[in-house]
Structure formats: structure tokens, C-alpha cells
Amino acid sequence: MWWGSGMFYLVSLFGGLVFGFGLVISQMVNPAKVLNFLDVAGQWDATLAMVFIGALGVAMPIYQWVLRTRSAPVLATEFEIPSTSAITPSLLGGSVLFGIGWGLSGLCPGPGLTALPTLLPGVAGFVVALFVGAATYRFLFAR
């Protein structure tokens, strides 16, 4: 690759920073805001729905355009697109666990890591649980 691994990491860092700033600006790092969004039967806060709609409105056409006009990403040799769209028991189980964790904590992995410097209550515990869960999965299933 002509760009070398340094350029890959620099672009990845830039993309991560843009994503992180977006999470902060949209308040996705605020567990109370997220829990109010998930509480559709109570004090529902629809503002995060606008964040999702805005993100999809930008990402979907660009994604389709890139797939039509390029044979590979700029910093990789091929697109990594899933080869199957089957709904499997492990997909359902993982989705349920993810949803339970999101509903209990108000955080998912990206916003959880982004919120770590805020020192909000529970964020450090969430991040520790995130890594313990990932290590447990790797130990039990990814052999």
C-alpha cells in the first residue's frame, strides 16, 4: 500500500474524532438523554430520533454512491461487506443483550468510550463491563 500504515492510523484517528464529536454534540454520551429517548411510554425525548434520521440521510446516499463509483476503499484493498443477511440465533441473542445493556445503562460502546472523560456516574463501570464482556465472549466463543 502506497500510503503506509501511518496514514491509515491518521485517517482512522480523524474519523474517530469526528464520530466522537458528533456523539458529544448530539448528547448521545448523556445516559439520561438516551434513557429518555428509549422511554417511549413515559417522558419520551424524540431529539435523538432526529440525530438518527440525520445520520441516515447523510450516510445512505454517500454509501451507495461510494459502492457504485469505487472498486475498493481509499485505504484498503477491498470493501468488507457482510456476505450474508441471515438472522441467526446468535444475532438475535447478541441483539437482545445489546438492547438490555443499552436500556439499563443508557450507553452503547461508542458513546460509552466517548463519555469516559466526562466522569459521569456509571460510565467507568459501563466501560469496565464492556471490556469484561468482550473478553468473556472471546474466551468462550472465539477460539
Reported as a single tens digit per residue, the pLDDT across 109-120 is 989 999 888 888
Tell me the C-alpha distance between 111 and 105, whole Å. 11
Say whether pTM exceeds 0.95. Answer: no
- pLDDT band at 3, cuts 50/70/90? low
Residue 132 has pLDDT above 90, yes or no: yes
- pLDDT band at 25, cuts 50/70/90? very high
Predicted local distance difference test score (pLDDT) of residue 141 = 83
> Where does the chain have alpha helices with state H?
4-25, 31-38, 47-69, 89-105, 109-115, 123-141
C-alpha cell at 142: 472465539
The fraction of the chain above a pLDDT of 90, given in percent, is 43
